[in-house]
Structure 1
Amino acid sequence: MHIRLRALFPALAPTLALILSACAGPVPVPTPAADTPARLRVATYNTSLYAEAEGGLVARLQAGDAGARKIAAVLQRVRPDLVLLNEFDYDPAHRAADLFQRDYLEQAQPGGGEPLRYPYRYLAEVNTGVPSGLDLDRNGTIGGEGRDRGNDAWGYGLHPGQYGMLVLSQHPIDAGQVRSFRLLRWATMPGARRPLDPATGAPWHADAVWRQLRLSSKSHWDVPVRTPGGTVHFLVSHPTPPVFDGPEDRNGARNADEIRLWQEYLTPGDKPWLCDDAGRCGGLAADARFVIAGDLNNDPVDGDGHHEAIVGLLEHPRVLRMATPRSAGGAETARAYAAKGIAHRGAPEHVTGDFGPRAGAMRLDYVLPSTGFVLHGQGVFWPASGDPDAAIADASDHHLVWVDLEP
C-alpha cells in the first residue's frame, strides 16, 4: 500500500548509525552456490497483485497480466528458496496462486530467467475486507458505499482477501505447525497503543468496540519450513500503513503494535495473552531459528509511523545485526527526490520503494534473520534506470529484498 509523507521525525538514538550507514555501488544478485545445500535465499516482495473487485486478480491473471509477468521475471532472476508475496489477493479456491505458478512462474518471462517452480506454498484467510459489523471509522454507518466500505472491515479492504499474503517455498512447509494470529484481539496486548481523541483525551473507540478489534490488519503467520539446514520459522506479516486516518492516529498506533507483536513473540517470558487462532499460547522457542519478512510499512527514520517500533525490532537481541540491503536504483531515486526538495534522513541506498512525490522513497520492506545464521549476501532488486533489468522492476511501487543465509 502507498505511504504518504506527513512529517519528518526528530533524530533517534545514535544506535541507528549501523542501520543508516550507506554503501555505494550496485549490488549484483549472485547465484547460490551449488555445493552448499544448507544455504538459503529468503526474500520478501510486495507485488501489488490485487484487485478492487472480488475475483479480480484471477481475471487479471487469466487475461495475461503484464505486471504479473514482470513480478514473475524478477522472481526468476533472483530465484529465492523462500519468499513472501505481500498484496497478493487471497481466494478460497487458491485459483490466483495456481494461475500465477502455472502461467507465470513456470513460463520463461521476458527479462527473467529459467522457469521457476515452487513445490510448496502457504496461504490462508486474512482480515482485509472482512466485514466487522462495527462502525470502526465512526462515520455513523456500518459498511458504507464505494471505497469507504473498506474502513469498517477488520483490515482495510474492499473484499475479503484483498491485499493477502502468499508464501512460496522450495522446501517442505510443516502446515500442521503453522501458527496464525489473525484473530488476536488488540486489547489483549500489554501496553497496547489504544488510539485517543486528542481533542478530549478519551479513547477514540468505545470500550465495546475496542474489546473486539483485531490487531492484525492482514494476519501474522509463523510458517515452519524444513530446510536442509534445519527448521526455519518464517515470520510473515503486512502491518497497516500508518496513514489514512486522523489526529487520533489509529493506523499509526496499529502499525506500531503489529510490528511489536513480533518483538513480543521473540522475547522470553510467560505470555498467556499471546494465543494463536488454534488456542495455543506463548511465543517462539528460545532455540528456534527464524526469518522475519514483510512490507512492514515503517521506515526507521522517515515518513509517518512510530519509528521506535521498527527500530526495536531491528535491534532485538535475537535478530542478526547485519548490513542493510541496498540498491543502485533506490539510491538514484532517493537522490532525485532530494533534488526536488523531498529530503529524507535515511541513507538513499537503503530504500525499498518509491511512494510518489508526497512521500518519496523509503525503506519499508524487511528480511530479518535470527542469530544463528551466517549472512552471505543481501540486496534489493532495484537496478539503476540505465540498467536493462530496470524494465522488469517497475510492476510494483515496492522492490524485492533478499538475503542469503547459512546456519
Structure 2
Amino acid sequence: MSLNLRRFREVVARSAMLAAAVALALPTIAVPAAAHGGGGGELRFATFNASLNRGTAGALRADLSTPGNAQARTIAEIVQRSRPDVLLINEFDFDPQAARLFRDNYLAVGQNGARPVSYPYWFIASSNTGIVSGFDLNNDGTVVTQPGAPGYGDDALGFGAFPGQYGMVVYSRHPIDTGNTRTFQNFRWKDMPGALLPDDPTTAAPGDFYSRQELAAVRLSSKSHWDLPIRVGHETVHFLVSHPTPPVFDGAEDRNGRRNFDEIRFWADYVRPGGGRYIYDDEGHRGGLRPGSEFVIAGDQNSDPFDGDSIPGAAQQLLDHPRVNARFTPSSAGAAEAGALQGGVNSAHRTNPAQDTADFADVPGPGNLRADYVLPSRGLNVRGGGVFWPVAGDPLARLTGTFPFPSSDHRLVWLDLRVGR
C-alpha cells in the first residue's frame, strides 16, 4: 500500500557530531574543500548514485546498524575525501533509520585515515519505487501486486521490488528550511502539458499505451522530485533533486525513455518563469520556483547529452536552459583513462570521456556515460568542480575500482559555488 508522505517525511536537525581524533593526511588525489563564509561563501554541492540499495526491505538498515559494512565504508570514505557541504545520495532505500545509521555509523566515523564529515541536517521522504499500482503497467497481460514477485517492479508506480527501493536522501551542513520544502511524488504524468506519454505502436491513436484508468494513477516521478531550500547564511539555495528512470528496459512504446525525458523536463519547467504553472506539489500548492530564486539541480539524470539510449535532447533541456549555468563541466582524468582502456562502444562516443560519471558495460553497451549532474542557476558563481574518479595508479582508485565495483558504478560529482556576496 502507498506510504504516507507526511508520516514518513523525517528531517533530523541540530544534532552535532564531534570528531575526537585528528585524521591522517589525505593521500594523492585529495580534493580540496570549499572555503566557507559566515554570510554565505563557497559551498560544495554534490550528487552520488551510491548504489546503497538492497534486494529486500530492511536489509539496508541491517547492513548499516553496525560500522562494518564494506560497501558503506567505501561510500563514506569517498564522501569524506570529497567533503561536500550539501549531498544528494541516489539509490538509498527509503528508510529514515537507515539514513540516520549511515550518517552516524559511517559518515561521522573516519574511514582509512579520512576525516569524519558531520551533517547536522538531513532529509528523506518516500519514493514511488515499489509502490503497488494495481494495474498491468507493462501490458504483459498480468497484474502483479505482490512485492518481490516476478514482474512486480514493472507494474509498480516506479520500478522496485518493494516500497522505497532505490530511493534517495540528502545530507547538509546547512539548515534545510523544512517549512518550505516541496515534494512532487504524487504529480501525475498526464497532468504535464504536452507529456510524451508512451504510445502503443499497433494502433493509430497517439499516447495510448496506458488506459484512461491507468493514466489517472501513473505518476511522473519514478522516485520523486524534491525542492529543498538550503539556508546559507542570509541566502537560500533551492536544492532540486531527483533520479529519473533509466531510458531502457521497455519496448517499442518507449515508456521508460519518454518518462526519463519528462522527468528531466519537470525541472526545466519548474525553474522557468511562468513555465511551472501546471505543477502541483504533494500539499496541493501550485506553481514553479519563484522567479529570481537561486537553485542547484542535482541527481542521476540517466541521460548523456549525446550517447546512450535516452531520447535526443533530454539532457539538453537543462544544459541549454536559459536559467541554468552549465558552462563548467565537471571532469576527471580517471574517466578519460577508463574510456580509453575499456574500449568497446566508448570509442564511438561523442561526449568527452573525461566528463563521464558512470562506468557501464562496454560490450554491447551503453559504455561509460555522463549521467550525473550538478547544475546551478546563473546567479551562482562556479568556482570549480570535478568527478571523483581516480586514475588506476592512484592509491584512491581502490574506492572506485572495476567491475564488480567496491562502491558503485556511478561516481560522486561536485561543484564549488559562491553563494551570496
What TM-score do the two structures reach when normalised by structure 2?
0.87
Deviates more, 1:257-266 or 1:223-232: 223-232
The answer to whether the 8 A contact 1:42-1:82 is kept is yes
2:248 aligned with 1:243: yes
2:71 aligned with 1:71: no
Aligned to 1:148: 151
Q: Does the residue aligned with 1:332 lie in a helix, a strand or coil?
A: helix
Q: Does the residue aligned with 2:414 lie in a helix, a strand or coil?
A: strand
1:337/1:393 CA distance change after superposition, 3 Å: closer
The answer to whether the 8 A contact 1:222-1:234 is kept is yes
- Structure number with greater CO (CA < 8 Å, separation at least 6) is 1
1:272: Cα distance to partner?
A: 4.2
Q: CA RMSD in A?
A: 1.8
1:387/1:265 CA distance change after superposition, 3 Å: same
Unaligned runs of 5+ in 1: 1-25
Match of 2:381 among 365, 369, 374: 374
The answer to whether the 8 A contact 1:72-1:105 is kept is yes
Question: How many residues were matched structurally?
Answer: 379
2:112 aligned with 1:107: no
1:212: Cα distance to partner?
A: 2.2
The answer to whether the 8 A contact 2:36-2:43 is kept is no
2:271 aligned with 1:266: yes
In the alignment, the residues of structure 2 paired with residue 360 and residue 391 of structure 1 have an alpha-carbon distance, to the nearest angstrom, of 21
1:201/1:384 CA distance change after superposition, 3 Å: farther
Q: Deviations over 1:100-133 (max 9, x none)?
A: 01111111112x5211110000100010011111
Deviates more, 1:198-207 or 1:159-168: 198-207
Aligned to 1:14: none
2:284 aligned with 1:279: yes
1:119/1:268 CA distance change after superposition, 3 Å: same
1:89-108 alignment runs, 5 A limit: 89-91=93-95, 94-108=96-110
Q: Does the residue aligned with 1:362 lie in a helix, a strand or coil?
A: coil
Match of 2:182 among 171, 179, 193: 179
The answer to whether the 8 A contact 1:27-1:326 is kept is no
State percent identity of aligned pairs.
51
In the alignment, the residues of structure 1 paired with residue 257 and residue 233 of structure 2 have an alpha-carbon distance, to the nearest angstrom, of 39
Aligned to 1:81: 85
Aligned to 2:411: 399
Aligned to 1:188: 191
Q: Does the residue aligned with 1:268 lie in a helix, a strand or coil?
A: coil
In the alignment, the residues of structure 1 paired with residue 243 and residue 312 of structure 2 have an alpha-carbon distance, to the nearest angstrom, of 16
In the alignment, the residues of structure 1 paired with residue 50 and residue 326 of structure 2 have an alpha-carbon distance, to the nearest angstrom, of 27
In the alignment, the residues of structure 2 paired with residue 342 and residue 98 of structure 1 have an alpha-carbon distance, to the nearest angstrom, of 42
Aligned to 1:23: none
What TM-score do the two structures reach when normalised by structure 1?
0.89
1:392: Cα distance to partner?
A: 1.5
In the alignment, the residues of structure 2 paired with residue 153 and residue 339 of structure 1 have an alpha-carbon distance, to the nearest angstrom, of 34
1:29 maps to a residue whose letter is: V
1:379/1:210 CA distance change after superposition, 3 Å: same
1:181/1:341 CA distance change after superposition, 3 Å: closer
In the alignment, the residues of structure 1 paired with residue 344 and residue 92 of structure 2 have an alpha-carbon distance, to the nearest angstrom, of 34
1:27/1:303 CA distance change after superposition, 3 Å: farther
1:391/1:274 CA distance change after superposition, 3 Å: same
Q: Does the residue aligned with 2:273 lie in a helix, a strand or coil?
A: coil
1:134: Cα distance to partner?
A: 1.2
1:264/1:339 CA distance change after superposition, 3 Å: closer
The answer to whether the 8 A contact 1:128-1:163 is kept is yes
2:322 maps to a residue whose letter is: P
1:299/1:201 CA distance change after superposition, 3 Å: farther
2:226 aligned with 1:221: yes
Match of 2:294 among 286, 289, 293: 289
The answer to whether the 8 A contact 1:342-1:360 is kept is no
In the alignment, the residues of structure 2 paired with residue 340 and residue 405 of structure 1 have an alpha-carbon distance, to the nearest angstrom, of 34
Match of 2:59 among 53, 56, 60: 56
